[in-house]
Chains A and B, each alone.
Chain A
Amino acid sequence: MQAYFKWLEPTIADKLNQQPAGAPVFVRMFLQLSPDHGLLRSTLAAALGMSSKWLGAAQVRIEERGGAREGFLTAMAEYAGGQSALVTVEAASGDPTVSILVMGQQGSLKFDDYPEPEVLR
């Protein structure tokens, strides 16, 4: 999974740095990358880390719900400049899926991906 994140984070960041949608202010992300409930926590941490980089600010507040038993983790995060994120990691019941929406002050960026399982090993 690390290899996928190492590709995903700069791919989105490079596009956002060109400011096609103005300064990014909000990230909505859904990740279904593995059926393993034990990976939810680490995947959420990685996703929140990516959000922080895309928004260009440090996380200052987090509220969470869900857990391994429920099969998902959802976090609402606030960042130092007032930016925010809603990030959800779900145990995958089928092929992996990624859905990202970044709202900028002058537009939005939408990214959907269906990574091959081998990329996530």
Chain B
Amino acid sequence: MSIGILLVTGGRTHQEGYGAAFQADPRARLIAVSDEPGVDERRAALNQRLADELRIPYIRDLGEALRRDGIQAASICTEHHRQGRLSIRCAEAGKHLYVDKPLAGSLDEARRLERIVREKKLLTQMFTQVTAAPARKARRLLERGQVGDLRAIHHDLLFAKGFSAGLPLVPRKETAAPAPDQFLVPEAKREMFNIAVYSLALFRWITGRKAFRSVAAHTANYFFDTNKKHGMEDFGAMLVGLDGGITATVAAGRTGWRSHPGSGHHRIRLFGSRGSAIVDAFAGHAEITSDQQSNWRVPPKNPDDPMGFWSSSDQRKTGGPEWWLPAPPAKSDQSHFLDCLEKNREPEVTVPDGVRILEVLFAAYRSAAEKRTVALG
């Protein structure tokens, strides 16, 4: 069996990783990179670049690409403000969807997408970290009853990338309510939006899709002048209520190269009726001590990707004998999606899950703006 995959949007997005993972799986066959015909020259060049790297054609008109034979699924990884409408186009064409996170830049588009995929009975998966080792381990701890009945879950996900500037400390005035109008520029992203989505997906997945009931959030500009200039938070904290009286908290952000010698602080803490447990994504960390011990160094600034957003810019810390190793996933998130297509099984985080998560993210901006807990559902 060969599953034809259309990549919607190319380089300098996470499609770099998604496309490579699909190509590495013998069950998948990449058909082309495509996009909207009117994209700007930079985007078109980046689309062409990924197509060249993967040795597949770049079809400039998404409509034309979707009419091609042999496409069963689309992997959609565009800028957030286009993600909803392009996913809708692919869903309307009857393609199963592998979509980047967060699902869309608009709740109306996300809910419309949910209706279409339900009507057409499409299999959908949103990229998250639930297929990665820390999440799997946390769920096994719960399933074994190690902490008893879950009462609280806490998630720190702090990406140690970007050059922090030592900004003057002032409270951020959140203006992204009811919804942000801008999500991404080459040198800045909305980091709560982009990172807390992983935490919310983890909570929904690990609790068996318990509904979100409330959110209180705080957003901040602690680290990057570029984020501040564009009005985009680089950090967010959340206090979330779920059905069953479960409480969850999130610390999510991009915190600068110096904040951690590896990828960043990443911990899951579970608290239940029998006790607590911690999953540290870097618990498998290795360390060398010697008389050659030196301090690690941040990579030189790359003007093309100053925040280290994309894997193709290959920015790494160097200079020290210490190293920190994230546990390798048993299989990629993309392979999980192919499993589901092959077995006609519902993926673990779907478009409807993505809509519920997006509702929390937008409510979180409202909470940060109005300084109060916002009820959900």
Residues of A within 8 A of B (CB): 21-23, 25-26, 28, 30, 32, 57, 61, 63-66, 70-72, 74-76, 78, 80-84, 86, 88, 90, 93-94, 99, 101, 103-108, 110
Contacts and interface: CB of A to CB of B under 8 A. Distances in A.
Interface of B: 151-152, 154, 156, 158, 164-167, 169-172, 216, 218, 220-223, 235, 237-239, 241, 245, 247, 249, 251, 255-256, 258-260, 265, 269, 271, 273-276, 278, 371, 373
B223 A78 contact: no
B309 to A, nearest CB: 20
Given A88-B249, A106-B166, A76 B152 contact: no
A107 B151 CA distance: 31
B154 A86 contact: yes
Given A74-B247, A106-B258, 13 more contacts: A25-B169, A61-B371, A66-B151, A70-B245, A71-B273, A72-B271, A74-B152, A78-B218, A82-B221, A84-B235, A93-B276, A103-B235, A105-B165
B154 A88 contact: yes
A86 B276 contact: no
A90 B251 CA distance: 18
Nearest to B236: A84
B247 A86 contact: no
A106 B270 CA distance: 29
Given A25-B169, A25-B220, A74-B152, A90 B276 contact: yes
A81 B221 CA distance: 11
Nearest to B147: A93
Contacts of A88: 152, 154, 249, 271
Contact of A76 (B166, B220, B239): B239
Contacts of B170: 81-82
A64 B251 CA distance: 15
Contact of A26 (B152, B222, B258): B222
Contacts of A80: 171
